């Protein structure tokens, strides 16, 4: 059960829970595969580092980031015992409005799937102006957003099962 926090500092730097009890799916978009592959490697390594068992991690690929929403929805329908779904993609700005449509659709779609199933569905989608910005966030100078997505999944799975 939730308890009252003693002071404001309890909000900062919460420890990362042990993930050994959780079943987590990772859905990876194939578009910009060099980048999404690096996000995937980071997410997988981080889940394992925090105790998620290898046989409780389910990985699938979908063609593009637009498909992440449907894949998360299908996953949670077929496997309702999942504790979280991590969606990984990379959308790079081009000359047309495609970027805006995909980013809006996947952000709203992932949000709605999570609410519908009352499960954490994690937005691990890079939305960048160019490839270099994406590389910088997929194991480059700004870290790996796949790692962050994995930590968020564990924290939210813990939240959902202990609140
Ligand atoms: C079509 C398209 C374009 C132009 N750009 C990207 C992108 O930068 N990143 C990405 O993940 N996917 C892209 N796609 C593919 C769409 O996500 C989707 O797969 C197609 O529109 C088919 O539904």
Atom 9, ligand 1: residue with shortest CA distance: 91
What pTM does this model have?
Answer: 0.94
Atom 23, ligand 1: residue with shortest CA distance: 66
What pLDDT score was predicted for residue 90? 97
pLDDT digit string, tens, across residues 62-102: 999 999 999 999 999 999 999 999 999 999 998 888 899 99
Atom 5, ligand 1: residue with shortest CA distance: 91
ipTM confidence score:
0.99
Task: Using the mean position of ligand 1's atoms as its centre, give its distance from the Cα of residue 140 in Å.
Answer: 23
Check whether 123 is labelled as a binding-site residue.
Answer: yes
What pLDDT score was predicted for residue 100? 93
Atom number of ligand 1 nearest to Cα 106: 17
Domain boundaries, the chain: 52-152
pLDDT digit string, tens, across residues 94-122: 888 889 999 999 999 999 999 999 999 99
CA distance 95 to 26: 30
Check whether 110 is labelled as a binding-site residue.
Answer: no
CB-based contacts of 23, cutoff 8 Å, min separation 6: 56, 57, 58, 79, 81, 82, 83
Report the residue among 29, 37, 64, 69 best suited for mutation to probe ligand 1: largest number of ligand atoms under 8 A from its CB: 64
Give the CATH class of 52-152: alpha beta
Among 146, 82, 149, smallest CA distance to 118 is for 82
DSSP of 97-143: THHHHHHHHHHHHHHHHHHHHTS-EEEEEEEESSHHHHHHTEEETTE
Task: Using the mean position of ligand 1's atoms as its centre, give its distance from the Cα of residue 160 in Å.
Answer: 31
Q: Are 86 and 67 in contact (CB under 8 A)?
A: no
With a pLDDT cut of 90, the percent of the chain lying above it is 87
Q: 4 catalytic, yes or no?
A: no
């Amino acid at each position: 059960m939730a308890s009252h926090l003693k002071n404001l500092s309890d909000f900062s730097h919460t420890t990362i829970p042990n993930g050994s009890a959780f079943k987590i799916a990772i859905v990876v978009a194939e578009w910009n595969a060099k980048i999404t592959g690096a996000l995937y490697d980071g997410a997988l390594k981080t889940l394992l580092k925090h105790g998620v068992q290898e046989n409780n991690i389910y990985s699938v690929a979908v063609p593009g980031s637009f498909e992440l929403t449907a894949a998360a929805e299908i996953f949670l329908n077929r496997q309702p015992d999942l504790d979280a779904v991590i969606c990984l993609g990379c959308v790079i700005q081009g000359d047309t409005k495609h970027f805006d449509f995909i980013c809006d659709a996947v952000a709203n779609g992932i949000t709605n799937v999570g609410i519908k199933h009352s499960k954490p569905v994690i937005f691990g989608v890079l939305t960048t102006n160019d490839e270099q910005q994406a590389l910088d966030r997929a194991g480059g100078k700004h870290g790996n957003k796949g790692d962050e997505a994995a930590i968020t999944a564990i924290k939210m799975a813990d939240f959902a099962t202990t609140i």
